[in-house]
Amino acid sequence: MAPCTGPCSWAAILLMPALATAWTAWRKFALPIPPAPLPLTLTGLGALVVNLTCALTLTRVRHAGGSLSRAKFLSARNDVLANLAIIGAGGLTLLWPSAWPDLLVGLGIFVLNLDAAREVYITARAEQRTVDTEPA
C-alpha cells in the first residue's frame, strides 16, 4: 500500500499545535513561573469568541467533506475547548498563584491535538484506500 499523502497531511498539520504545546510545557516545567492571570483569562475569552464562531459554522459540514472538513472542525473544536481550559487556568492562577494550572491545561491541549490528528489520519487513510481501490 502506498504511503498516505494528500489528505493525511491534514493530520500532520494538526500535530503542529500539539508539538508546540509540548515544547512550551517542557520549558514551563523547567522554569515553573505562574502566568499573569488577567491577561491569560482575557486572551482566552477573546479567542473563545472567535473559535466558537468558527466551530459553530463548521458543525454543519464536519462529516460532509471527508478528512479536510473533519480536520477543520476538530481544529476549531479543540481551540474552543482549549480556550475554556485557559480561562479556567487563569481563574485558578488568580486564586492560587502557581504554574500548575497552566501546565495541566497545556498537557490537556497536547493530548486533545494528538487525538484529533489520529482521528483525521484514520479518516484520511480510509479515504485513500477507497481511492486506491476505485477502478481507473
Domain definitions of the chain by residue range:
8-25+36-133
Distances from the Cα of 13 to the Cαs of 113, 115, 128, in angstroms?
10, 13, 17
- Segment-wise mean pLDDT, segments of 10 residues, the chain, 136 residues: 59 78 86 91 94 88 73 86 95 94 91 86 80 68
Nearest to 107 by CA among 8, 4, 21: 21
> Alpha helices, DSSP H only, in the chain?
8-30, 37-59, 66-95, 100-133
pTM of this prediction exceeds 0.85: no
- Which three three-digit cell numbers place residue 6? 494528500
